[in-house]
Structure 1
Amino acid sequence: MRAAPVVDGAIAGAVGTAALNIVTYLDITTRARPASSTPDETAGRLADEAHISLGPEKKAANRRSGIGAIIGYATGIAAGAAFGVLAARRRIPLPVAAGLLGGGVMATSDGSLAVLRVSDPRTWRPADWLSDLVPHVAYGVAAAATWRRLRPPSRRRGR
């Protein structure tokens, strides 16, 4: 029995998310830069908007950190699942798939930062954009390649 396209897409999204995180941590290690605080801040803003207390500050900081990471994984996996639905009956060339996946996740993440007023991408410097772009390219390439591996062209056409 073969898996549904949404499941294969979610798997591809999980692989892409792992690639994004690895590239991000390599950047942190190579440039000795601090980790971004935006995932934690996003989690805090969402909790505030939902009127959910995360507890006393020490525990709240730890919860924001955990929730921020979960939001990142959820975004990557959900994007892969959505791509699975979109691409289930179409042959999307690998570079196009990588661009759709990476660009879609980047737009979702950066758009969320702007909407929640965690950060304003319009004020980012070129180095900030590069730090954001490279991991999202890695996400797109890894997710698209995984999709292609799970659903080779002959399988998508029902052969």
Structure 2
Amino acid sequence: MSHQSIFHRLTRGALAGAAGVTALNTVTYLDMLTRGRGASDVPARMAEKTLELGGIEMPGDEETRENRLEALGALLGIAVGTGVGVLHSASGMAGRLPFAAESLLVGAAATAASDIPMALTGVSDPKTWGLKGWLSDAIPHAVYGAVVAGVIRKTL
């Protein structure tokens, strides 16, 4: 495979992942608006746990620290979503399955990439989420998967 081809796959995956993250966030914020629910504190707690595992302390007073952890949690989510898009594009599997199957597979990969670390670190326990919690997680990730698969297919 040529360097240009590898670069194209990585760039295509990053763009698809970023588009997927935008779609995931849009669906999440529409759900929050519709149901009047608050934002999850899980991304900030996961950011804090990640820093803790790395032996890093977030600087600042309590309010500044919380704000920075919230921002870091959002940035980590963007990185995960973009990274899953890159991995999917780089795998060479894009466009080889029916669109619905590919969308669900990519959405499931993104779900696993975010939910497994939360469960393993004890930041959140998916077994306790209930139907509304799982739908609030699964639907945006399914939309993410469809957008990633669609963008990659359009740029093959």
- Residue in 2 that maps onto 1:76: 81
From 56, 66, 88, the equivalent of 1:61 is 66
Where in structure 2 are there 5+ consecutive unaligned residues?
none
How many residues align structurally?
151
Identity %: 36
Where in structure 1 are there 5+ consecutive unaligned residues?
152-159
Deviating above 6 A after TM superposition, structure 1's stretches of 4 or more consecutive aligned residues are none
Please give the alpha-carbon distance, in whole angstroms, between the structure 2 residues aligned to 1:29 and 1:95. Answer: 28
CA RMSD, Structure 1 to Structure 2 (Å): 1.5
Farther-moved stretch of structure 1 (20-29 vs 107-116): 107-116
Map residues 70-149 of structure 1 onto 2, 5 A cutoff: 70-87=75-92, 91-149=96-154
Please report the TM-score for the alignment, with normalisation by the length of structure 2: 0.91
- Residue in 2 that maps onto 1:51: 55
**Counterpart secondary structure, 1:4:** helix
**Counterpart secondary structure, 2:15:** helix
Answer yes or no: is 1:11 the counterpart of 2:15: yes
- The one-character-per-residue Cα deviations of 1:64-122 (angstroms, maximum 9, x if unpaired) are 01100110000000000000111268623211221111000001111011012111001
Q: AA paired with 1:46?
A: T
Please give the alpha-carbon distance, in whole angstroms, between the structure 1 residues aligned to 2:48 and 2:94. Answer: 39
Please give the alpha-carbon distance, in whole angstroms, between the structure 2 residues aligned to 1:83 and 1:46. Answer: 24
